[in-house]
Amino acid sequence: MFFAIIFSFLAKTCAVSTARIDVVRAKETLAEADTAIIEEFLTSAFEEFYAKTDFSDIASVRSTIISRSESNLESGQIQYGPRFLTAVQSQIAGTLEKAGKLPDSPRKQLLTMNLLILINDLGNLEISKIALNYTQTPEVTVRYWAVNCLTNGGIVRQLNTAGSNEAEQFVQNLQTVVKNETSGDILILAAQFAAAVKSPAANELLVEIAQKRAASYLNWQVSDEMVECTILKSLSDRTQIDPDNAKITAKEFAILYSLVVQRYALSSGVLPAENINNLVSVIVLSEKYITRFIPDWPGSLKRAVEKGGGAGLLVEHDALFGSASAAGKLPTAAGFDYGKNADGSIMTAPPQLPKPPAKVIETKSSQDANE
Residue-wise pLDDT tens digits, 246-290:
999 999 999 999 999 999 999 988 999 999 999 999 999 999 999
* Number of Cβ within a 10 Å radius of residue 216: 18
**pLDDT tens figures, 317-360:** 999 999 999 999 999 999 999 999 999 999 999 999 999 987 67
H helices present in 52-101, as ranges: 55-67, 74-100
Binned at pLDDT 50, 70 and 90, residue 181 comes out as very high
Nearest to 353 by CA among 208, 217, 209: 217
Q: Count structural domains, the chain.
A: 1
Instruction: Give the domain range for residue 129.
Output: 12-63+88-99+108-151
DSSP β-bridge partners for residue 340: 346
Q: What percent of the chain has pLDDT over 90?
A: 87
Q: Is residue 172 part of a domain?
A: no
> How much is the pLDDT for 371?
56
Cα separation of 149 and 141, whole Å?
A: 12
Q: Looking at residue 317, what DSSP letter applies?
A: H
Span 295-303, average pLDDT: 94
Tell me whether residue 332 is in a domain. no
Q: How far apart are CA 23 and CA 37, in angstroms?
A: 10
Q: pLDDT value at position 30?
A: 96
Q: Is residue 53 part of a domain?
A: yes
Element (H, E) at 369: helix 358-370
For residue 95, being part of any structural domain is answered with yes
Mean pLDDT of 73-77: 96
Give dist(CA 121, CA 153) in Å, integer: 11
- Residue 9 pLDDT greater than 70, yes or no: no
- Helix, strand or coil for residue 191? helix
For residue 24, tell me if it sits in a domain: yes
| DSSP notation for 235-289 | HHHHHHH-GGGHHHHHHHHHHHHHHHHHHHHT-TTTS-HHHHHHHHHHHHHHGGG
In a domain, 229, yes or no: no
Q: Is residue 349 a contact partner of residue 338, using CB atoms and an 8 Å limit?
A: yes
Residue 210 included in any domain: no
Going by pLDDT thresholds of 50, 70 and 90, the confidence category of residue 361 is: low
Distances (CA, A) of 56 to 12, 114, 142: 8, 10, 17
Residue 246 lies inside a defined structural domain of this protein: no
